[in-house]
């Protein structure tokens, strides 16, 4: 079930554990990934979300921390064949990932092929086999509200743990309106992740107040340092 968080009562520890520290930019070097893992460990985030090629490295870097390693599947366009997404998921699990953020087949959804979209998500859920949380990226920038609602329903029917707003690589990311719509379109057992454009403490608290329990962020240090400052935490 969804945990209830709000901006008035959230603690530093709770806020840190809503953050998936994002390390997905294509130009990141091995040293950048290592530095990102160290930052995540220092701030005790929920996870690092890294490119598939960086999962093994990140698992090694974070083995003595409380930060988990997640990765992306079918990223960033969702256009991979289902078999490819399944192979990606299995490889990520073998490398030590425990969270998988998979992109829906956006074109199939917009074409009205609900069965394909549901089956595509379910195949990744099956590959995760209880060993990893599965978050489904809708990429809302390309969808109508009706398509967003349908995608949420299909993700839940397929057994996903989360629905997520965006990859961070589309023309727009998380909006309050979309998060409200997504929260209303899934049952309490499915959580909502905000990603794309959440770059300040004010922004993260706003998305938490409308039901997001995870947030993809690159501005992790800025957000958490500001929280500490406002609450006189040393």
Q: Which of 20, 54, 101, 178 is catalytic?
A: 101
- To the query of whether residue 113 is one of the catalytic residues in this protein, the response is no
Tokens of 156: 């839940």
Q: What is the DSSP letter of 141?
A: G
- Closest among 152, 133, 130 to 143, alpha carbons compared: 152
Closest CA to 7 of 196, 207, 197: 207
164 classed as catalytic: yes
How much helix, strand and coil, in percent to the nearest 5, is found in the chain?
45, 15, 35
In the set 120, 161, 164, 178, the catalytic residue is 164
56 is catalytic: no
Please choose, from the candidates 52, 50, 137, the residue with its C-alpha nearest in 3D space to the C-alpha of residue 89. Answer: 52
- Residue 229's SS3 state is helix
71 in Cβ contact with 106 (< 8 Å): no
Tell me the catalytic residues. Answer: 101, 164, 193
């Amino acid at each position: 079930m969804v945990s209830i968080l709000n901006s008035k009562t959230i603690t530093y520890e709770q806020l840190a554990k809503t953050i998936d520290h994002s390390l997905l930019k294509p130009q990141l070097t091995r040293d950048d990934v290592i530095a990102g893992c160290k930052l995540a460990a220092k701030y005790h985030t929920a996870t690092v979300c890294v490119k598939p090629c960086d999962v093994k490295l990140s698992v090694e870097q974070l083995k003595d921390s409380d930060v988990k390693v997640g990765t992306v599947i079918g990223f960033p366009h969702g256009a991979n064949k289902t078999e490819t997404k399944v192979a990606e998921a299995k490889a990520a699990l073998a490398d030590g990932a425990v969270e998988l953020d998979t992109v829906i087949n956006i074109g199939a959804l917009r074409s009205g092929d609900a069965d394909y979209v549901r089956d595509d998500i379910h195949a990744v859920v099956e590959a995760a086999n209880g060993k990893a949380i599965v978050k489904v990226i809708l990429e809302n920038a390309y969808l109508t509200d009706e398509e967003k609602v349908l995608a949420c329903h299909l993700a839940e029917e397929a057994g996903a743990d989360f629905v997520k707003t965006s990859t961070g690589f589309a023309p727009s990311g998380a909006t309050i309106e979309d998060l409200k719509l997504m929260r209303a379109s899934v049952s309490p057992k499915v959580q909502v992740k905000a990603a794309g454009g959440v770059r300040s403490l004010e922004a993260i608290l706003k998305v938490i107040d409308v039901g997001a329990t995870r947030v993809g962020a690159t501005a992790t240090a800025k957000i958490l340092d500001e929280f500490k400052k406002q609450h006189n935490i040393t």
